[in-house]
Amino acid sequence: MPGNPFYRSSFWFVLRREALKRDGYHCTVEGCQTPTHALHVDHIQTRPRGATGPTSADVLPNLRTLCGNHDRMVKEGASGRRGNGGQLIVRGCDASGRPLDPNHPWNKRGA
């Protein structure tokens, strides 16, 4: 089985379950309405490359639950840099045409 063996360890399974439970089994990106059948637990600060055991990055406060769309948006590339500059945004609009992203200028107070 390819990939880092850490992600098949009992340590990771327990930590991942705790993160999902803490986040209510939903994407933590404000305004995200993506169905949550495929959730990912993401390290906010990247784990050291090549580490096969637990590290100081493998703690609950350094984890967040993301839907597949948001996980792919900020996934690290081969260089170790995160996609989209590490910025998570909500794409799309509601039925009235207002952007779903709470940080969009139209959704700011007074807009």
Give pLDDT tens digits for 21-40: 999 999 999 888 887 778 99
pTM of the model: 0.78
Q: Which residue has the tokens 């939903």?
A: 26
Q: In this predicted model, what pLDDT tens digit does every residue of 37-64 receive, in sequence order?
A: 789 999 999 899 889 999 999 999 999 9
Q: What are the residue boundaries of the structural domains of the chain, listed by start?
A: 5-107
What average pLDDT does range 61-82 have in this prediction?
A: 89
Instruction: Check: CB of residue 70 under 8 Å from CB of residue 83.
Output: no
- Alpha-carbon distance of 89 to 49, in angstroms, equals 26
Q: How confident is the model at residue 110 (pLDDT cuts 50, 70, 90)?
A: low
